[in-house]
Amino acid sequence: MPAVKKVFEPFEYPVAYCIAGVDEVGRGPLVGDVVTAAVILDPEHPIEGLMDSKKLSEKKRQLLSIEIKQHAIAWSVGRASPEEIDTLNILHATMLAMQRAVLGLNVTPDYVLVDGNRCPTFVGENGNIASQSVVKGDARVAEISAASILAKVARDDEMIALDKLHPEYGFAKHKGYPTKAHLEKIIEHGVLENYRRSFKPVANVIANSTGNNNNNN
């Protein structure tokens, strides 16, 4: 029997003067930062075509990213490094990156909507900022959709830049995700400093490499 797809009700916005949407990209990859974005949209300049960034073509994401940056009241990108991910774990590093994105806004929101089922504490000039997590928010809340697009474009661009430095790993294609081809390249070429060493596939390569070196001594 086919699985029944859950349908979510239209999101009911909280009563607030200035709402920021927040989303993340890059929790699953083996390499690079986890990237977040925060966006406050301008109701006077609605942006057509906002949706979950994963459902958009790369070209459409790039075009929408430019439009969001032009017309949003405020936007900011935050990140947490592989070192922070390895130290804190990916969940806490993602929460930290979300806090950094909101702190980077040049306008302080009075409410923050976060994609997913949990959100960190956000602090503004006058104390904590009210916040709420929204399941499937990148498909239900325009501000979160915009944030998901900015975060996705920023991280993909970083993977393309890394690919130019290390073309043998194929980062431009797999974007750091643990594909079969990517895992083979790590085994063949080794672990770069950009990798998340606490992630099991990377840790396994390091352990095997250390073991082989010990056996050769």
The predicted-structure confidence for 77-102, as pLDDT tens digits, reads as follows: 999 999 999 999 999 999 999 999 99
User: Encoding tokens for residue 59?
Assistant: 């070209």
Give the amino acid at 89. N
User: Encoding tokens for residue 46?
Assistant: 């609605």
CA dist list (Å): 98 to 94, 131, 155, 211: 6, 12, 14, 38
Q: Which domain range does residue 143 map to?
A: 19-164
Q: Residue 36: inside a domain, yes or no?
A: yes
- Token look-up 């900015």 returns 150
pLDDT for position 52: 83
> Binning pLDDT at 50, 70 and 90, where does residue 3 land?
low
Give the amino acid at 77. V
Q: Residue 188: inside a domain, yes or no?
A: no
In terms of Cβ atoms closer than 10 Å to its own Cβ (0-12, 13-18, 19+), residue 191 is middle
Give the amino acid at 110. D
Q: Residue 100: inside a domain, yes or no?
A: yes
Give the amino acid at 34. V
Q: Residue 141: inside a domain, yes or no?
A: yes
20 pLDDT higher than 70: yes
pTM: 0.92
The number of residues making up the chain comes to 217
Q: Residue 154: inside a domain, yes or no?
A: yes
pLDDT digits (tens, 9 = 90+) for 109-123: 999 999 999 999 999
pLDDT for position 9: 81
- Any residues with CB less than 8 A from the CB of 9 and at least 6 apart, and which? none
Q: What is the tally of structural domains in the chain? A: 1
Q: Residue 30: inside a domain, yes or no?
A: yes
Q: What is the CATH number of the domain that holds 138?
A: 3.30.420.10
How many angstroms separate the CA atoms of 183 and 160, rounded? 18
Q: Residue 203: inside a domain, yes or no?
A: no
Q: Residue 217: inside a domain, yes or no?
A: no
User: Encoding tokens for residue 62?
Assistant: 């790039």
**CA 137 to chain CA centroid, nearest Å:** 14
| Cβ atoms of 53 and 149 closer than 8 Å | yes
b/e burial code for range 93-114 (CB count within 10 A of at least 16 → b): bbbbbbbbbbeebeebbebbbb
| Cβ atoms of 111 and 20 closer than 8 Å | yes
| Cβ atoms of 73 and 43 closer than 8 Å | no
How many angstroms separate the CA atoms of 122 and 102, rounded? 7
